[in-house]
Amino acid sequence: MSETPASASVTSSRWEDFIDVFIAPAQLFRRRSDGKFGHALVVLMVVIGVVFFLTRNAMQPIMDAEFQRSMAANPRVTPEQMETARKFAASFAPVFVIISMPIVVFVLGAVIWLVARIVGGRTNYAQSATIATFAYFPRALESIVNGVQALLMDEAKLTSRFSVSLGLGRLLDPTKTSGALMAVLGRVDLFTIWITVLVAVGLKQMTRITTAQAIGGAALVWLIGALPTLFQALRAG
């Protein structure tokens, strides 16, 4: 049975979404003001998962360094406990990556929904989650870029996740810089700013607020995004 024109158009527009998110985000968010994001979320999860498996070995030194640093912040952890935790984290890392993606998107959607109201816009949750889903697509590209860098760099230089970042965090030594400062300056990077810009575009197109309101809302989302890491750093001292 041949595909009907209507279904062909829907399929075409869905795949156009993954091009427009990079080259014409305003058109994308106008087209997806219907709040349908399930297909895009599945694609995002698959891409992130595939890239993780392909680059896992290259990124392992970074994951080990981050794990060692987090464990060192708790002096009560014994070497035996640290090794057990390391093995557990390594075994469940793929599961965590796949499961965490929709959680991150749903939480970000809730933040965008709240921020939209703060700056004077109105969206339903489905629209906010749609903004969150498509705004997160640069993370997939970031995973590829990070993996390629890790493959090409000296393993001794892969001392933190910021070692392959394209931002201010790369210029800082995580062993000599306070965790709070790293939490804030680490978010001044190409891909996080890209995501923030996409949030601003999504807010403007879906809520019809002014450009200034959309920029203010996206900046607030960026700031809220820094809070969990900042709180963790302050708690660790």
pLDDT tens per residue across span 79-90:
666 667 667 666
pTM of the model: 0.86
Question: Among candidates 158, 112, 154, 156, which has minimal Cα distance to 133?
Answer: 112
> At 167, phi and psi to the nearest 5?
-165, -165
Please state the rounded mean pLDDT for residues 166-173: 89
Q: How far apart are alpha carbons 185 and 107 in whole angstroms? A: 22
Domain boundaries, the chain: 5-236
Q: What is the pLDDT of residues 207-225, one digit of tens each?
A: 989 999 999 999 999 999 9
Q: What is the pLDDT of residues 6-33, one digit of tens each?
A: 444 455 577 899 999 999 999 999 999 9
> At 153, phi and psi to the nearest 5?
-85, 160
Q: Which of 68-77, 87-96, 189-198 has the least mean pLDDT?
A: 68-77
**Contact yes or no for 106/126 (Cβ under 8 A):** no
Tell me what pLDDT residue 79 has: 66
Q: What is the pLDDT of residues 199-208, one digit of tens each?
A: 999 999 999 8
Question: Among candidates 219, 26, 203, which has minimal Cα distance to 113?
Answer: 203
